[in-house]
Structure 1
Amino acid sequence: MSTTTADTELARLTSAVAAIATNLVELDQNPDRQELGRITLTGRTATAWADASDALERLWQGHRQLTEVITRAEALRGQRRMNDADRDAYRHQVLGPSITLSTATVPLAQRGLLGAGQVVATCTPAELLSAMESSFRTAVAVVSGAGEAWRRGVPAAAEAADTLQRVRDLTRQAGAGAADRLLDEADRLLGGITRVLLSDPLGADLTGLADVRSLVDRADAERTSAAELQASLAQRLRDARVLLADLDAAQRAAGETSDAAAGRFPDDQIIAVRMTDPRPELAAIDALAAAGHWALISPRLSAWRRQATDRLAALRDASARNAALLTERNELRGRLDAYRAKALRRGLGEDPVLGPLAEAARDRLHQAPCDLPAARSAVDAYQDALSATIAAREAR
């Protein structure tokens, strides 16, 4: 009987064993496979790796068995002259069930009278190759799946962690408490994803990284709002200090006009502004800013500004009204002097009617305190009398 079929199969087996050796060595040296064998696995990956480890063990055992078959077959085929028994043995090695998969002892209680004491499971080299192909796919699927999860997940998780830390640093500078809470939640979620990813890459749900990024984005928005609020409040504080300087200037001006009017006019006509000193409250607000309590500042600063603005308006009004007292008195004095000069030019300096009126107006304007309404009436009376006297003379 011809050995051609067996020769062809032996060549195929020899080539297959060489390829198997190369692929198994490459798989053993794969970094992902080595990592799977090094770390403590959990969950789905632990179960899958247990199956893959069994598959790898079967693959190496199958490689050894195929190598032994090839060695025996080549020894038979290499004889100078093969008899029929040798050819049958050769064909059995290459094409027949020459590989023992397992040997199991049958318990005596389970044997029949004619039953064998052992059950031997065998297969052909071709059948073993087919089974090994399936085992190889199992092992490769686990190794490549875990590696792919690590290559996708670890950099993404690291990037998320870097972004989270950057936003946290900026948040601490801005003092945004609400953003901190969002970042804590993102940190907790990212920590869980990372732990699963490292020990159970096949079971890691990387879609959770999108939730982490969403939380970080929300925190960054909160932080940005807080930073904008801080910048706005810082500007308002600078404006408040300018307003305080205006208050100081207005206070001095009001004091000067009040002092100038004091004693010269009745007290009830002099405007005095008595209000709470704004400095302590502004100092307290500055202290809140220095401590980073920006959320507490806005309402207090708004209230302070309203009070300070009202105080400034009152001080400026007081200054204007007190200054107006002196201005009006001086204007009345000027009018009286002008009317008396006019009377002198008309020869009415010693007029018995005009003289007492002029003296009365002068007394009103130079007495202290000066009653401006009475002084104004006296000046008007002198002016009216002077005009009437001049008109009467001209009519004659």
Structure 2
Amino acid sequence: MAGTAGPVMSRDEVDRVLTRRGEERDAVEAALLSLQDHPGRRLLDGAALTGRTQERWAVAEQGLALLWALFDRYAEALASARAVRARRGKPGSAELAELSELLTGAAVTVSGGHLPEAVGQLGAQVRLVERVTLTELMDRMNGWYAVVLEVVNAADAVWTALPARIDLLLAELGRVQMLALSVGVRPGGHPLGDDLTRLAEELTALRTEVLADPLALWRPARVPAQRGTASEASAWASPSGAVDTTGFDRAGRHLDDIRVELEGLLRLRDESHERLQQVADLLQRADATLAEARRARGEVLAKIASTEVPAVPGPASALRERIVLAVEYQQTGQWHRLGQLLDALEDAAAKELTRARHSLTEVAQPLAVRAELRGRLEAYKAMAARFGLAEDPVVVERFEKARWLLWSAPCDLRAAAEAVTRFQQALRAPERQATSGGNDSDG
């Protein structure tokens, strides 16, 4: 028997250590049983693994077997110590020395092939036999437990978080693909169709990766535990980290964007007839306005003297050709082609109506000026009647001259405007007095 590692413990100290070691043994056993039944471990056992997960599970799986072997040696050593303590109610110095050695000394013999150095690798060159203390053995178990638990928990976290969500997204992708077909969007014929094909490939590849290599999508909050090393405080706690859902989230956002665009095409399909009719109505109003402008231009040329009248533009024939194309897209269900074209047609038709109205305003301006002068003349005539000047010779003469100029053809707008102004002036009292006193007559 090797010598004791330190001073001989008293009977009370021995009993306290035995109690603590017994509690540790029970806690380790419960943790190992829980780990053995962990859903992540069961899934890892039956999965066809690749990549990082395959590498780390190969180590963790051996570590799990090693944990049970180390636990058995711990339990055997504790049982041996309890047997020594049970020999006598009040152990003597010999028993206390033996118990001190068993509980604190390097009294546990383990196979070196099953207990590599803390920073070593499974399969590395090791000693055939080692003697360690119970504390050292517990540290080794803590370290290997952390290694195994981290792999098992990480794989379980990824498998819990992603496969079902990917399946739901793939199902939603199928519905969006059906929506795409309903509005004529197909791979090779529209960018959205190609996007849906690539998205399906990405999600399928992501699902395959999740099932075969879940640890590729695990982001630990700390560096993974070294094989066989961990602090006692954290050894039996679940390792922290997060599932990397970047690829899944990106695919979800992309699918949402595609669905929004397709729903826009679906609305276009439902609204296209009404919108094309509105474009046709705008062009019809533009044509009617241009026809009115041409009629007004002819009237101006015939009835207004010395006036430059702008030409009236013709109908937008190119715009009508594009409408024919839009109708063709509508009839053949090419909604993805119709969308931008219909937007452009609505804008162009509105501009065409604005252009026609502007042309009518420009062409009819002389007629508007004549109408305004006629209105002013009639208003001044009514004012003359209120002033009692309806029979005044000057007022009558100036009214008749302005009236003759405004209702003759072709009408000289400048002369007519001057005549209306002179008729207005005739209504003012000072001018009437001056005119009456001088017996002036305006010819």
Scaled by the length of structure 1, the TM-score of the pair is: 0.55
1:46–1:200 CA contact under 8 A, matched in 2: yes
One-letter amino acid of the structure 1 residue matched with residue 195 of structure 2: L
2:373 maps to none
Q: Does 1:46 align with 2:85?
A: no
Match of 1:178 among 191, 198, 205: 191
Q: Does 1:9 align with 2:25?
A: no
Q: 1:158 to 1:10 in 2, by over 3 A?
A: same
One-letter amino acid of the structure 1 residue matched with residue 34 of structure 2: E
Partner SS for 1:33: helix
Q: Does 1:214 align with 2:214?
A: no
Q: 1:103 to 1:170 in 2, by over 3 A?
A: closer
1:21 shift after superposition:
1.1
1:188 shift after superposition:
1.3
Match of 1:65 among 67, 73, 76: 73
One-letter amino acid of the structure 2 residue matched with residue 28 of structure 1: Q
For the pair shown, which has the larger CA radius of gyration, 1 or 2? Answer: 1
Structure 1 residues 155-304: aligned runs within 5 Å: 155-176=164-185, 177-204=190-217, 205-235=244-274, 292-294=333-335
2:161 maps to 152
2:183–2:262 CA contact under 8 A, matched in 1: yes
Q: Deviations over 1:109-136 (max 9, x none)?
A: xxxxxxxxx8631101111111111111
Q: Deviations over 1:300-344 (max 9, x none)?
A: 9x9xxx9xxxxxxxxxxxxxxxxxxxxxxxxxxxxxxxxxxxxxx
Q: 1:224 to 1:130 in 2, by over 3 A?
A: same
2:111–2:130 CA contact under 8 A, matched in 1: yes
Structure 1 residues 124-135: aligned runs within 5 Å: 124-135=133-144
1:6 shift after superposition:
3.0
Partner SS for 1:9: helix
1:183 shift after superposition:
1.0
1:175–1:226 CA contact under 8 A, matched in 2: no
Q: 1:119 to 1:48 in 2, by over 3 A?
A: closer
Q: 1:221 to 1:6 in 2, by over 3 A?
A: same
Q: 1:217 to 1:150 in 2, by over 3 A?
A: same
- C-alpha distance in 1, partners of 2:272/2:215? 50
1:92 shift after superposition:
2.0
Partner SS for 2:49: coil
Partner SS for 1:122: strand
One-letter amino acid of the structure 1 residue matched with residue 109 of structure 2: T
Scaled by the length of structure 2, the TM-score of the pair is: 0.50
Structure 1 residues 321-360: aligned runs within 5 Å: none
Q: 1:44 to 1:296 in 2, by over 3 A?
A: closer
Q: 1:297 to 1:7 in 2, by over 3 A?
A: closer
Q: Deviations over 1:250-276 (max 9, x none)?
A: xxxxxxxxxxxxxxxxxxxxxxxxxxx
5+ residue gaps in structure 1? 105-117, 241-281, 307-396
- C-alpha distance in 1, partners of 2:18/2:141? 17
One-letter amino acid of the structure 1 residue matched with residue 264 of structure 2: S
Q: Does 1:79 align with 2:79?
A: no
2:73–2:110 CA contact under 8 A, matched in 1: no
Q: 1:291 to 1:69 in 2, by over 3 A?
A: same
5+ residue gaps in structure 2? 1-7, 114-126, 218-243, 280-323, 350-443
Partner SS for 1:218: helix
2:183–2:336 CA contact under 8 A, matched in 1: no
1:98–1:124 CA contact under 8 A, matched in 2: yes
1:186–1:212 CA contact under 8 A, matched in 2: yes
Partner SS for 2:106: coil
1:26 maps to 34
One-letter amino acid of the structure 1 residue matched with residue 29 of structure 2: A
One-letter amino acid of the structure 2 residue matched with residue 203 of structure 1: A
- C-alpha distance in 1, partners of 2:338/2:92? 106
Partner SS for 2:162: helix
One-letter amino acid of the structure 2 residue matched with residue 24 of structure 1: L
- C-alpha distance in 1, partners of 2:139/2:337? 75
2:184–2:336 CA contact under 8 A, matched in 1: no
Q: Percent identity?
A: 24
Q: Does 1:55 align with 2:70?
A: no
- C-alpha distance in 2, partners of 1:119/1:49? 25
- C-alpha distance in 2, partners of 1:62/1:4? 28
Structure 1 residues 87-126: aligned runs within 5 Å: 87-103=96-112, 120-126=129-135
CA RMSD of aligned residues (A): 3.4
1:239 shift after superposition:
9.3
- C-alpha distance in 2, partners of 1:15/1:220? 59
1:60 shift after superposition:
0.7
- C-alpha distance in 2, partners of 1:150/1:61? 29
One-letter amino acid of the structure 1 residue matched with residue 206 of structure 2: I
